[in-house]
Amino acid sequence: MSKFKEAWDELSTFGKISTIIAPVLSIIILTLCVLGFLKILPINQTNTIVLPILAVLNILIGINLFRKNKVVAIFIFASSAFIFIL
């Protein structure tokens, strides 16, 4: 547990916020996708909600990866831009 606490203390404020927001956004995306596949909600309605959330999640991941691997981060930013265009 001390390794987790040390790693958590080393993160910046943005890193802490994105670490909390990313799983929440993922859970929202999965929930809406399941509701759309089970036809509880119309699939067109869930797609219009899920796609921007997915793009925001990609942007958060890209910002976190930018320091480590710039090439992968640029591809992630491009994919989020493509999702916003859809």
Question: Into how many domains does the chain fold?
Answer: 1
The CA-atom distances, in angstroms, between 66 and each of 6, 20, 60 are: 22, 18, 10
For residue 41, give its domain range: 13-85
Is residue 1 one of the residues assigned to a domain? no
Contact between residue 49 and residue 36 where contact means Cβ atoms under 8 Å apart:
no
38 in helix, strand or coil?
A: coil
In a domain, 54, yes or no: yes
Residue 5 falls inside a structural domain: no
- Cβ proximity of 29 and 57 under 8 Å: yes
Give pLDDT tens digits for 48-86: 999 999 999 999 999 988 888 999 999 999 999 998 887
Would you say the pTM of this structure is higher than 0.75?
Answer: yes
